[in-house]
C-alpha cells in the first residue's frame, strides 16, 4: 500500500447508476488496507463514477469516468505504486474542468461530494451545526428572522417568496404548537437538485430546519420526500439518528430549552403534493389535494397549526447565511434576486449534472460555458425552465439573466431548478404536448378546468402532432390556456398552460407548419416527416448499422439510401450521423 490515506467512492444514485457499487466492491477486495469511504454527488453527472484518493499530506486526486479497467490501473499505479494516473484526473483549473467550475459558486452544494453523507463527524469537521449553535446561544428568534430577511434569500421551490418574511409571519402567531416542513417532493421531469442534496449532504438540510424551527417557535417538523428517493430517505434517517445522538436534534438541543423532533414522510409520488397545501393534506393522511388560501400555512397549516414550509435548497442555504452573515449572502446576485441558484442541467447538454451559479449570470453562460453547449454539437434551440409549470426560452433570449423577474418576463419561471437544453432536433409542439400530458395525468381533479381543460388541450396538441390539426386549433389552445390559468385553485393548474403559451409565443411557425404544411421540421412527429440521405454522405455505414428496421443500404465509402417503405421515421439515422448527411423531408 502506498501513501494513500483514504479512498472515497461516489455513492449517490447517479454514481451508482454509472457502476460505482462494483468499483467499491473491487476496492474492498484489492486494497483492504485502505481507508475506504463513500462520498455524495459532486454534480458532475456527465463524468461518473468518480473516486477520490486522499494522500497522507492531505492532497486530493479526483478520478472521473472510472470503469473497471481504469480502476485496475489506478490501483496498480496509484494506490500500490504511488504514481497518480494524470490522464484521468479532474482538474478544475484548466480545460473543461475550468469551464465547468470557474463560474460556479457553491453554497447549497458546498459539502456535496466533499463529505461522507453517512458520517456526521465529517459534516462537523467542515463547520457543520456551528450556525445552529450560534443562533441558540447568541441570538433570538426575531433576530434570526431579520437576518434571513436581510440576506435576500427567497424560497427556491419556485415562487421565490422571501424566506425571512415567511418565518416572521409564523413567529407572530402566538400558538403553543407550530410545525416546520421541508418540501422535498421534487417531481419536475429533468430535476434532481433535492435528491442529490439530500443524498450528499443531509445534515445541511437538518441544520437549516433546526434554525427554521427556532426562528418560528416550532418544536416538531416533517421532511416530505417522495418514496422514489429511497437513498435520500435512508440517509436522512441515518442523519437524524446521528444528530439526535449528538444532542443536535431532539430534547434540549445543545443544552438549551429548544427542542425539535423531526419525522420523515414518504410521499407516494403525486406531483400535486409539491403544492404546500396538498403536501400538508398528504402528511395528515388525507388525499393530496390543494386547499383554499387564506388562511395561509403560517397561520393555519399542518393539523391546523402555524406551519412554515421551505424546500431543500432553501434550507440548505440557511446555515451558510447565518454563518457568513446577511451581507455576505446579499452581496451575491442581483438587486431583487440574491445568492446562488442550483440547476439540474439535462437534455441535450454536454456536461449534464448539478451546477450552482450566482444569480445574475446569463442563461447563455450556464448553457454554453458551464454546460459546454449541446452534447450533440448541434445548435441550441431553446431552454425549458421550471418544469411542467415553466416554459421554453428560445436561443435568442439566452442572454436573459438568471433573476426571478427577468426569467418571468420571458413567460417561463425560475421554478425549482430544472434546466432542460433542447437542440434543433427538438419539435417544440411535441415538447408542449409532453408537458401537457404530464400535468394532465398529475392533476388531482379538484378543479374542473384543470381536470378537463388540460385534457382538451392535450387532445388538440396530439391531433396537431399526428397531422390532423386545423387552423382553429391555435386559437382553441390560447382560449383554453387563459381559462385554465384563471380558474384553477393551485399552482399546478395555474401554470399548466405555460409550456404551450411560451412555445406559441416563440415558435408559432412550427405550429403553423404542422397544421398548414403537414410538416415537422425537427423530424420528431412521425406522421409529418421522413428522412433522406444527402450527397455529403461519407459511407461510414453507422446509420445502416444503427437502423432498427434495416431500412438503409449502401457500401463502405459509398452513398447510402433509405428505403422509404421500410423507414419508421424513428430518426436514429439522423441522430448518429456525424456529418449532418441525414435530412428531414
For the chain, 585 residues long, give each residue's pLDDT as a single digit of tens: 455 589 999 999 999 999 999 999 999 999 998 999 999 999 999 999 999 999 988 999 999 999 999 999 999 999 999 999 999 999 999 999 999 999 999 999 999 999 999 999 999 999 999 999 999 999 999 999 999 999 999 999 877 899 999 999 999 999 999 999 999 999 888 899 999 999 999 999 999 999 999 999 999 999 999 999 999 999 999 999 999 999 999 999 999 999 999 999 999 989 999 999 999 999 999 999 999 999 999 999 999 999 999 999 999 999 999 999 999 999 999 999 999 999 999 999 999 999 999 999 999 999 999 999 999 889 999 999 998 989 999 999 999 999 999 999 999 999 889 999 999 999 999 999 999 999 999 999 999 999 999 999 999 999 999 999 999 999 999 999 999 999 999 999 999 999 999 999 999 999 999 999 999 999 999 999 999 999 999 999 999 999 999 999 999 999 999 999 999 999 999 999 999 999 999
Residue 3 pLDDT: 59
- Number of Cβ within 10 Å of residue 569's Cβ equals 18
Q: Which of 141, 116, 112, 165 is nearest to 320 (CA)?
A: 112
List the one residue out of 215, 205, 249 whose CA is nearest residue 135: 215
Residue of 281, 254, 261 lying closest to 221 (CA atoms): 261
Residue 4 — left, alpha, or beta (φ > 0 → left; ψ -120 to 50 → alpha)? beta
Tell me how far apart the alpha carbons of residues 512 and 294 are, in angstroms, rounded to a whole number.
43
Q: What is the pLDDT, as a whole number, of residue 158?
A: 75
- Cα 20 to Cα 33: distance, rounded to the nearest angstrom: 20
| CA 422 – CA 446 distance, rounded (Å) | 33
pLDDT score recorded for residue 4? 58
Question: E strands along 436-481, which residues?
Answer: none
Q: Is the peptide bond before 295 cis (omega within 30 degrees of 0)?
A: yes
Element containing residue 340 per DSSP (H, E): strand 340-347
Alpha-carbon distance of 467 to 283, in angstroms, equals 45
262 SS3 class: strand
- 8-state DSSP, 374: B
Smallest Cα–Cα separation from 198: which of 224, 238, 236? 236
- Residue 111, Cα to own-chain centre: how many angstroms? 17
How many Å apart are CA 504 and CA 479, to the nearest integer? 12
DSSP strand pairing (391-394 vs 380-385) = antiparallel
Helices (H) and strands (E) in the chain, counts: 24, 17
Task: Look at strands 418-423 and 380-385 and give their pairing.
Answer: antiparallel
Q: How is residue 522 written as a grid cell?
A: 425537427
Residue 231 grid coordinates: 437513498
Q: Could you tell me the three cell numbers for 268? A: 407516494
- pLDDT tens digits for 57-93? 899 999 999 999 999 999 999 999 999 999 999 999 9
To the question of pTM greater than 0.85 for the whole model, the response is yes
Residue 56's pLDDT is 87
- Residue 420 burial (CB < 10 Å; 0-12/13-18/19+)? buried
Strand ordering across the sheet containing 353-358: 353-358, 340-347, 418-423, 380-385, 391-394
Q: Which three cell numbers stand for residue 551?
A: 431500412
Q: Which residue has the cell 490522464?
A: 87
Domains of the chain from N-terminus onward? 4-90 (3.40.30.10), 120-330 (3.40.50.11540), 340-423 (3.10.20.600), 428-517 (1.20.1440.230), 530-584 (3.30.70.20)
What's 513's DSSP letter? I
Amino acid at each position: 500500500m502506498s501513501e494513500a490515506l483514504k479512498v472515497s467512492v461516489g455513492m449517490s444514485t447517479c454514481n451508482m447508476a454509472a457502476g460505482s457499487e462494483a468499483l467499491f466492491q473491487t476496492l474492498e477486495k484489492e486494497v483492504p488496507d485502505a481507508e475506504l469511504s463513500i462520498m455524495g454527488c459532486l454534480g458532475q453527472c456527465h463524468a461518473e463514477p468518480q473516486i477520490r484518493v486522499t494522500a497522507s499530506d492531505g492532497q486530493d486526486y479526483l478520478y472521473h469516468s472510472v470503469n473497471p479497467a481504469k480502476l485496475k490501473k489506478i490501483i496498480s499505479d496509484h494506490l500500490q505504486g504511488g504514481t497518480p494516473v494524470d490522464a484521468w484526473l479532474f482538474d478544475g483549473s484548466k480545460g473543461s474542468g475550468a469551464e465547468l467550475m470557474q463560474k460556479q459558486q457553491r453554497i447549497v452544494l458546498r459539502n456535496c461530494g466533499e463529505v461522507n453523507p453517512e458520517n456526521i463527524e465529517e459534516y462537523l469537521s467542515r463547520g457543520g451545526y456551528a450556525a445552529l449553535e450560534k443562533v441558540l446561544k447568541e441570538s433570538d428568534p426575531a433576530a434570526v428572522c431579520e437576518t434571513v430577511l436581510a440576506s435576500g434569500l427567497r424560497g427556491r421551490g419556485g415562487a421565490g417568496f422571501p424566506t425571512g418574511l415567511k418565518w416572521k409571519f409564523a413567529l407572530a402567531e402566538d400558538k403553543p404548537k407550530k410545525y416546520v416542513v421541508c418540501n422535498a417532493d421534487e417531481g419536475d421531469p429533468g430535476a434532481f437538485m433535492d435528491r442529490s442534496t439530500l443524498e450528499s449532504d443531509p445534515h445541511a438540510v437538518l441544520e437549516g430546519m433546526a434554525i427554521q424551527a427556532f426562528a418560528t417557535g416550532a418544536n416538531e417538523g416533517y421532511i416530505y420526500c417522495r418514496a422514489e428517493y429511497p437513498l435520500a430517505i435512508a440517509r436522512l434517517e441515518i442523519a437524524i439518528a446521528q444528530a439526535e445522538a449528538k444532542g443536535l436534534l431532539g430534547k434540549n438541543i445543545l443544552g438549551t430549552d429548544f427542542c425539535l423532533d423531526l419525522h420523515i414522510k414518504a410521499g407516494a409520488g403525486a406531483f400535486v403534493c409539491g403544492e404546500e397545501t396538498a403536501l400538508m393534506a398528504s402528511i395528515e393522511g388525507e388525499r393530496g389535494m390543494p386547499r383554499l388560501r387564506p388562511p395561509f400555512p403560517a397561520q393555519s397549516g399542518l393539523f391546523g397549526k402555524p406551519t412554515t414550509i421551505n424546500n431543500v435548497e432553501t434550507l440548505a442555504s440557511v446555515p451558510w447565511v447565518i454563518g457568513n452573515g446577511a451581507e455576505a449572502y446579499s452581496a451575491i446576485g442581483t438587486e431583487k434576486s440574491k445568492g446562488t441558484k442550483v440547476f439540474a442541467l439535462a437534455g441535450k447538454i454536454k456536461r449534464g449534472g448539478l451546477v450552482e451559479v450566482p444569480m445574475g449570470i446569463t442563461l447563455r453562460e450556464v448553457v454554453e460555458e458551464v454546460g459546454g453547449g449541446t452534447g450533440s454539437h448541434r445548435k441550441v434551440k431553446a431552454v425549458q425552465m421550471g418544469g411542467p409549470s415553466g416554459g421554453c426560452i428560445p436561443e435568442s433570449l439566452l442572454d436573459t439573466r438568471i433573476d426571478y423577474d427577468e426569467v418571468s418576463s420571458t413567460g417561463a419561471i425560475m421554478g425549482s431548478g430544472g434546466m432542460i437544453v433542447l437542440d434543433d432536433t427538438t419539435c417544440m409542439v411535441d415538447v408542449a404536448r409532453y408537458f401537457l400530458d404530464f400535468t394532465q395525468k398529475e392533476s388531482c381533479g379538484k378543479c374542473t378546468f384543470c381536470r378537463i381543460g388540460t385534457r382538451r388541450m392535450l387532445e388538440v396538441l396530439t391531433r396537431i402532432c399526428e397531422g390532423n390539426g386545423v387552423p382553429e386549433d391555435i386559437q382553441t389552445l390560447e382560449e383554453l390556456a387563459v381559462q385554465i390559468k384563471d380558474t384553477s385553485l393551485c399552482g399546478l393548474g395555474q401554470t399548466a398552460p405555460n409550456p404551450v403559451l411560451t412555445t406559441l409565443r416563440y415558435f408559432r411557425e412550427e405550429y403553423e407548419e404542422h397544421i398548414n404544411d403537414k410538416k415537422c421540421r425537427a423530424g420528431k412527429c412521425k406522421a409529418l416527416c421522413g428522412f433522406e440521405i444527402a450527397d455529403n454522405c461519407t459511407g461510414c455505414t453507422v446509420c445502416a448499422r444503427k437502423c432498427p428496421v434495416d431500412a438503409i443500404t449502401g457500401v463502405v465509402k459509398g452513398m447510402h439510401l433509405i428505403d422509404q417503405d421500410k423507414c419508421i421515421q424513428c430518426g436514429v439515422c439522423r441522430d448518429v450521423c456525424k456529418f449532418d448527411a441525414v435530412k428531414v423531408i
